[in-house]
């Protein structure tokens, strides 16, 4: 699901900034090269972390008809790699480099039924899609799962617009989403679009396959920012180049390798395109695959990993390296 359109960089100016939950900030940006965002669009943004420039992706929540403005939402991740801290610090008047809206998660208009599934901040990829489906009077259900109502961005607006088409699952109200029950209500003609934590998307993909539902009818957006384990420090070695470096919990393996002077290939930096693939020569620990590029079988084989998002942990039991002193060690070739 790599981007199929060309990146056009421009200047974005913050024209509105407000907190929509304790952890989520909504930013409205004016575009120097106006372009309307279709449902499923995102923009790439250049952020500065420790003086270095990095690209991050954000779903467009909405945009004005004339394309002058796009709105995004920035979630302050507990294990932020620095991008969300930079973005949350922006105020009205600040300028940054952004792309025009890019599309790699298009909504196919014309399906008989839709389910839109959002977990947590994944709702940002769904708001615009759900609005379009509402406006064209499509048969759709928007399923929104979160840990508490207070943490669920845009909930009041979604309730007001979608009424009975919105189904809300809240962990701390005892109504957590049950993937089996959700999929039991999906018929073969339904298209399901989802964005959320990798565990949720993985469960849906497995259930989808197990029911023999049509693969093209399952569509997803991922920004590769959550994994099976909490991020921890690990070591990466590239014997052919004589490189050994440490990957901190707040950076990606790709960033650490770039920082060590290794010439890396990449495109999406979201675990989707596979261009950053590295070959595993040795492993002390476990790979935390966070990509959506490999099949489950390929991930289990632990022969390759997408280093832009995937990591290593010292233990599958959750005993963290900082508690045990044991760090995972990944030996690779690039």
For ligand FES, the binding residues (CB under 6 A) are 266-269, 271-276, 291, 293, 306, 308
Give me the least distance between CB of 252 and ligand FES, in Å please: 9
Distance between CA atoms of 227 and 25, rounded to whole angstroms? 23
Long-range CB contacts (< 8 A, 24+ apart) of 168-174? 168/144, 169/143, 169/144, 169/145, 170/145, 170/146, 171/145, 171/146, 171/147, 172/147, 172/148, 173/148, 173/149
191 vs 291, which CB is nearer to ligand FES? 291
Q: Please say which residue, 60 or 309, places its beta carbon nearer to ligand FES.
A: 309
50 C-beta neighbours (distance < 10 Å), count: 9
* Closest residue by Cα to residue 129 from 93, 94, 156, 165: 165
SS3 content of the chain, % helix, strand, coil (to 5): 25, 35, 40
We find the least distance from the C-beta atom of residue 121 to ligand FES, in angstroms, to be: 20
The residue (of 232 and 272) whose beta carbon lies closer to ligand FES is 272
Look up tokens 């509402």; give the residue.
Answer: 134
**Strand-pair category, 140-146 with 166-170:** parallel
Q: Look at the chain and count its residues.
A: 334
- Cβ contacts of 247 within 8 Å, gap of 6 or more: 233, 234, 235, 236, 253, 256, 311, 312
Q: Could you give the 3-state DSSP secondary structure of residue 110? A: coil
Work out how close the CB of 271 gets to ligand FES at its nearest, in angstroms, rounded to a whole number: 5
Q: How far is the CB of 305 from ligand FES (least distance, A)?
A: 9
Closest CB 306 distance from ligand FES, rounded Å: 4
Residue 223 or 293: which CB sits closer to ligand FES? 293
Whose Cβ is closer to ligand FES: residue 94's or residue 267's? 267
Q: Which long-range contacts (CB under 8 A, 24 or more apart) does 262-267 make?
A: 262/238, 262/334, 264/307, 264/334, 266/308, 267/2, 267/3
Q: CA–CA separation, 62 vs 65, rounded Å?
A: 9
Of 71 and 254, the one with the shorter C-beta distance to ligand FES is: 254
Q: Residue 5 or residue 95: which is nearer to ligand FES going by CB?
A: 5
Shortest Å distance, C-beta 227 to ligand FES: 14
DSSP state of 244: E
Taking the least distance from each CB to ligand FES, the nearer of 177 and 309 is 309
Least Å from the CB of residue 138 to ligand FES: 32
How far is C-alpha 314 from the geometric centre of its chain's CA atoms?
Answer: 24
**Which of residues 56 and 269 has its CB atom nearest to ligand FES in the complex?**
269
CB of 22 to ligand FES, least distance (A): 31
Beta-sheet pairing, 95-99 with 102-103: unpaired
CA nearest neighbour of 86 among 122, 130, 55, 128: 55
**Minimum CB separation from ligand FES for residue 222, in Å?**
10
């Amino acid at each position: 699901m790599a981007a199929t359109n060309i990146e056009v960089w421009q200047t974005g100016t913050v024209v509105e900034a407000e907190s929509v939950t304790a952890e989520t900030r909504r930013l409205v940006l004016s575009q120097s090269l106006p372009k309307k965002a279709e449902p499923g669009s995102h923009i790439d943004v250049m952020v500065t972390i420790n003086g270095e420039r990095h690209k991050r992706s954000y779903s467009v929540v909405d945009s004005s008809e004339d394309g002058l403005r796009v709105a995004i939402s920035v979630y302050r991740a507990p294990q932020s790699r620095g991008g969300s801290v930079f973005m949350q610090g922006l105020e009205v008047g600040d300028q940054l480099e952004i792309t025009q809206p890019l599309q790699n998660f298009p909504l196919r208009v014309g399906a008989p039924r839709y389910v839109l599934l959002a977990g947590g901040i994944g709702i940002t990829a769904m708001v615009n899609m759900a609005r379009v489906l509402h406006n064209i009077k499509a048969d759709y259900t928007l399923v929104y799962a979160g840990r508490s109502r207070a943490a669920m961005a845009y909930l009041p607006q979604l309730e007001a617009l979608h009424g009975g088409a919105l189904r809300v699952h809240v962990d701390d109200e005892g109504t957590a989403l049950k993937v089996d029950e959700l999929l039991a209500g999906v018929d073969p003609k339904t298209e399901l679009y989802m964005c959320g934590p990798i565990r949720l998307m993985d469960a849906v993909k497995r259930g989808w396959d197990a029911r023999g539902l049509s693969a093209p009818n399952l569509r997803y957006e991922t920004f590769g920012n959550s994994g099976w384990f909490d991020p921890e420090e690990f070591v990466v070695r590239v014997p052919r180049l004589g490189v050994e470096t440490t990957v901190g919990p707040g950076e990606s393996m790709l960033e650490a390798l770039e920082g060590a002077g290794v010439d890396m290939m990449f495109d999406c930096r979201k675990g989707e395109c596979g261009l950053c693939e590295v070959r595993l020569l040795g492993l002390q620990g476990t790979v935390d695959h966070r990509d959506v590029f490999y099949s489950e079988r390929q991930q289990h084989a632990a022969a390759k990993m997408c280093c832009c998002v995937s990591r290593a942990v010292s233990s599958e039991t959750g005993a963290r390296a900082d508690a045990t002193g044991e760090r995972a060690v990944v030996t690779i070739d690039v």
